Amino acid sequence: MLFQKIDNPFYRKKKTIQLNGELIQLDQPVVMGILNLTPDSFYDGGKYRSELEALRRAEEILVQGGTMIDIGAVSTRPGASEVGEEEELLRLLPAVKAIRNAFPQAVLSVDTYRSTVVERVFGETGGFIVNDISGGTLDGKMFEMVAKLGLPYIVMHLQGTPQTMQKSPSYRDVVGDILLDLSEKINALKLLGVNDILVDPGFGFGKNISHNYELLNRLDSFRLFELPLVVGLSRKAMIWKLLNHSPADSLNGTTVLNTLALMGGADILRVHDVREAVETVRLVAELKK
C-alpha cells in the first residue's frame, strides 16, 4: 500500500501560519515556486541572476498560481561550492527588495541556513518564511534568531552537509530516525516561543534513492506533528537517476511524485514548474472530495 489514510480525529493539523500580521491559510495545499539566484543550481542555475530576471520569475510564479516565492542565493545541490555570507547577501538582498516592492502582497520565503542573513534581510525587507535546509544544524543561532524576529520557520531534515550528504547516507529506519530528529528540533523551537513551524522531510538531503521512496511511501507518518508539511521533489535525482535521464527531462516524474505527495498529506509543494503543480493540486483536490 503506497500510503495510508489517517482518519483519527486526534490528529488536527495546524492550517494557518502568521506572517507580517496576516494569517496564511493552508486548509488546501498550495504551491511554492522556486527562484534560484545562483549560477550553479542543479536545474536552473544561472537563469535568474539579474534583478530584472528575478522580477520576471517572481511574476511568472504568481501568474501561474503560486502562493509562495522561495528565494535562494546559495546552491545546496550535492557537492555544491560553499558561498560566503557577503556573496549570499549581494545576490539575495536586491532581489528580495525588488520583489517586495513590485509584489507587496506576495508571500516570500528565504532559503538560507545563516541566522545573520535572516536578520539582515528582515531588517531591510520585512517578514518572510525562513526555509532552512539544515534545520538549525549549520548555524546554532538560527532557532534563537527566528524566535527573536517572530518568523515562520521551515525545519528540514538534513544528514551531513551539502558537501557530504550523499556520501553513503545511512539510517536504522529512515522514517523513524527523521521523525525523532525533527521532533527534537520542533520541541526546541517551541520552547523558544516559535509558533509557526513547518516540517520538511528533506527529500534528497542525505538520503539515497531507496530512502527517498520509503519516505514518500510513508509520508503520512509526518501527520504526527500536526504541522504544515512541505515537500520538495521537483526534478530531483530520485527521479532522473532512477529513470536514467536528466533534470531537464523530469517534469513528468515530478508531477507523478507530487501527486503521491499530496495524497500522502503534503500542504506545500516546492517546485520549479508552478503551473503544472497548481493543476496537480486542483486535480487531487477534486479526487479527494
End-to-end CA distance of the chain: 21
- Residue 7 clears pLDDT 70, i.e. is over it: no
Say what the pLDDT of residue 1 is.
Answer: 34
Say what the pLDDT of residue 29 is.
Answer: 98
133 touches 111 (CB < 8 A) = yes
User: What is the rounded distance in angstroms from the CA atom of residue 244 to the CA atom of residue 241?
Assistant: 5
* Predicted confidence band of residue 76 (pLDDT cuts 50, 70, 90): confident
56 catalytic, yes or no?
A: no
Mean pLDDT of the chain: 91
Say what the pLDDT of residue 47 is.
Answer: 65
Structural domain spans, the chain:
27-76+91-288
What tens digit of pLDDT does each residue of 165-206 get? 667 778 999 999 999 999 999 999 999 999 999 999 999 999
What tens digit of pLDDT does each residue of 218-262 get? 999 999 999 999 999 999 999 999 999 999 999 999 999 999 999
Stretch among 45-54, 109-118, 126-135 having the lowest mean pLDDT: 45-54
> Catalytic residue among 77, 185, 223, 236, which?
236
What tens digit of pLDDT does each residue of 152-166 get? 999 999 986 666 666
289 catalytic, yes or no?
A: no
* Predicted confidence band of residue 75 (pLDDT cuts 50, 70, 90): confident
- Dihedrals phi, psi of 15, to nearest 5 degrees: -115, 10
Cell of 216: 514518500
106 touches 65 (CB < 8 A) = no
- Residue 282 clears pLDDT 70, i.e. is over it: yes
Among 9-13, 31-35, 52-56, name the most confident range.
31-35
Q: How many Cα atoms are found within 13 Å in the side-chain-facing hemisphere of 216? A: 22
15 touches 27 (CB < 8 A) = yes
- Residue 40 clears pLDDT 60, i.e. is over it: no
Say what the pLDDT of residue 2 is.
Answer: 39
* Residue 24: partners with Cβ closer than 8 Å, 6 or more residues away: 16, 17, 18, 67, 107
Helix axes 274-288, 251-263, angle to 10 degrees: 30
Q: State the CATH architecture for 27-76+91-288.
A: Alpha-Beta Barrel (3.20)
> Catalytic residue among 114, 185, 218, 270, which?
270
